[in-house]
């Protein structure tokens, strides 16, 4: 499953990052790496972006980028 399909309040673990070099690097720079626990806090009213808790801080991520993060 990808991060954009996770329900609000669920905590998941990152398995793999997809995408090209620049996009993948930006996601990794935000602290989302393999093995990281991510909690989905809420979705914006129109569904984009997604608010996440990663490594103790709040992060907003576009759905397009969240679709490139495989989780379990």
Contact 62, 38 (CB under 8 A): no
pTM here is: 0.85
Give the CATH number of the domain where residue 10 resides: 2.30.30.90
Q: What angle do CA 49, 37, 7 make, to 5 degrees?
A: 45
- Domains identified in the chain, total number: 1
Output phi, psi for 53, to 5 deg: -110, 120
Structure confidence at residue 19 as a pLDDT band (50, 70, 90) = confident
- pLDDT one-digit tens code per residue, 42-62: 999 987 899 999 999 999 999
Q: Show the domain range for 17.
A: 3-71
Task: Determine the Cα–Cα distance for residues 18 and 44; give it in Å rounded to an integer.
Answer: 23
């Amino acid at each position: 499953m990808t991060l954009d399909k996770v329900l609000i309040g669920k905590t998941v673990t990152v398995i793999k990052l997809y995408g090209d070099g620049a996009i993948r690097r930006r996601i990794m720079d935000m602290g989302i790496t393999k093995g990281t626990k991510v909690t989905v806090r809420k979705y914006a009213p129109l569904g984009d972006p997604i608010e996440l808790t990663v490594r103790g801080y709040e992060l907003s991520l576009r759905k397009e980028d969240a679709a490139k993060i495989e989780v379990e």
